[in-house]
Structure 1
Amino acid sequence: MRLMLALLLLFKILQSHSLQAATYTVYSIDAPPLTMLDAKQAGIVGDVVIEAFTRLGHQVLLQEVPWKRAQRITREGENIFIMPLALLPSREEHFTWVAYIMDLERSFATTKLRINDYQQAKKTLNKVGVGLGSAQAQILKNKNFLDSQIVELKIGPSTAKMLQLGRIDAWFNGTPESIWYWNQLFPEQPLIIGDPVVTNLLFLAASKNTDVKLVQQIAIQIQLLHDEGFVEKTKQRYLAPQ
């Protein structure tokens, strides 16, 4: 309760020095249920971020380009935002980490054999599909997977299709996204999800050159959304069985 009151007081102080209402570019990606490119149904992370901007009187312009390019544009730009971005050591110094949104478990998904850890994956899998420019690609490289084992594919349903066709042996991805796409495309075919091998923190991030007051205001709003239960309710809404 004291934390909530302190945050509200700080927000009121910042509000008294508030920026004029504006439209801000937020680079996103079609990776349901985390993010979608519809502002009215933007996924778990998207809905939280848009709500935070809306409460401050700002509008959000969702933009999609290839994920590597989106990260580069954000890094090199000014007052540009990106979501959802996993906090990795290799990324940490290149962005402003505005606010934590949620944890994301990552696992190996297959159609034949349950894969529960990296060692098993390295020994048994010839080709592992990952999103191009994604955290998954960097994680496998850091775990010393061979380049020939890592197949980078456009983020989205194409990786699920490649797995179903047997062109890759496994899909290393955020668990909720893998389940979401598989259930949409192949609801009658079982998908085998291994144990989570890593959990990453997902953030709203921004350019290094981003207005400090704006970052503070958004961070406070997102913390209030956590405290109010908005984030948890949003997760439950998207992750509930259809």
Structure 2
Amino acid sequence: MRNSILIAMTVVASAAAAPVMAERLRIYSVDAPPMTMDQADQGGFVADITLEALKRAGYQGEIIFDPWKRGQQEVAEGENLLIIPFARSPAREPNYTWIAKIFTTERSFATVGKSIDSFEQARAELSSIIVGQGTAQEELLKAKGFPQSQLRTLKVGQRETEVLSPNGDEAWFNGTPETLWKWKRSGRPEKIVIGKAVAFDDVYLACSRKCSPHLVETLKAAVDSVIADGTAQRISDQYVK
């Protein structure tokens, strides 16, 4: 009898000593450097900030690079699925749970040639505008009344830098940091001209519409702490300076 009790106590003690595995959360993303990057050695500053926040909140993260439109749909229809980098917009607002703002990005027109500094100028002077399919940029252009005939919609990641016309009659409408990052690494000899910022968007860590209130609360607090103590800025500086 004494041996049985001793064995039972040993089993309980071993179980208590065993490490508890942190819950793994799925994070849907897109290759949008320098914010998020599908690379083994660099994840992008939004991804790194998000993973640090998850770590502080006691979770592990698994980043998934599905086609962007499909990923958005899976998160919207799923439960407790995360998504980054996600611009908050009226069209997206009711379909997701908005956990925490990570940073604010500017959007601009980029050309090889002249500066395009407003939507009005773009509408009047450009023959076509390259824009990523399913992105906040595409939503914005459509909301501004740009005709589909003027938009050259590409799947995200189709190397916009390679197809942008050198004649100055076509622009790429995108987040400014990503445009500069990709152009610098494209190998093209021309100078890219970035127009004045025509829009600013808050970029969020978001979750499925069906998202645990506890998960939302703990992740928001963790993101806020990463920003408040300067960690987020230090991470960003590694990519953009």
Q: TM-score, structure 1 length as denominator?
A: 0.87
Partner of 2:216: 215
Alignment of 1:153-232 (within 5 A): 153-156=154-157, 158-164=159-165, 169-186=170-187, 188-232=189-233
Per the TM alignment, residue 39 of structure 1 is displaced from its structure 2 partner at its CA by 6.6
User: Aligned partner of 1:228: which letter?
Assistant: D
Per the TM alignment, residue 148 of structure 1 is displaced from its structure 2 partner at its CA by 0.4
Distance 1:167 1:110 in 2: 6
Secondary structure at the counterpart of residue 103 of structure 1: strand
Partner of 1:81: 82
Query: What is the CA deviation profile of residues 163-193 of structure 1, one whole-angstrom value per residue up to 9, with x for unaligned ones?
Result: 0566971100000000101000136321000
Secondary structure at the counterpart of residue 185 of structure 1: coil
User: Aligned partner of 1:64: which letter?
Assistant: F
Cα distance change, pair 220–49 in 1 and its aligned pair in 2 (3 A): same
Distance 2:38 2:58 in 1: 21
Distance 1:44 1:92 in 2: 24
Question: Where in structure 1 are there 5+ consecutive unaligned residues?
Answer: 1-18
RMSD: 1.8
User: Aligned partner of 1:126: which letter?
Assistant: S
Distance 2:62 2:134 in 1: 22
Question: Where in structure 2 are there 5+ consecutive unaligned residues?
Answer: 1-19
Per the TM alignment, residue 99 of structure 1 is displaced from its structure 2 partner at its CA by 0.7
Q: Check conservation: 2:125, 2:169, Cα contact below 8 A.
A: no
Query: What is the CA deviation profile of residues 142-175 of structure 1, one whole-angstrom value per residue up to 9, with x for unaligned ones?
Result: 1111110111112125211110566971100000
Instruction: Point out the more displaced range, 185-194 or 19-28.
Output: 19-28
Q: Check conservation: 1:157, 1:181, Cα contact below 8 A.
A: no
Query: What is the CA deviation profile of residues 108-141 of structure 1, one whole-angstrom value per residue up to 9, with x for unaligned ones?
Result: 0000111000000000111100111000001000
Query: What is the CA deviation profile of residues 12-42 of structure 1, one whole-angstrom value per residue up to 9, with x for unaligned ones?
Result: xxxxxxx972111100111100111247521
Partner of 1:8: none
- Higher Cα radius of gyration: 2
Aligned residues: 222
User: Aligned partner of 1:34: which letter?
Assistant: M
Q: Check conservation: 1:25, 1:61, Cα contact below 8 A.
A: yes
Q: Check conservation: 2:99, 2:219, Cα contact below 8 A.
A: yes
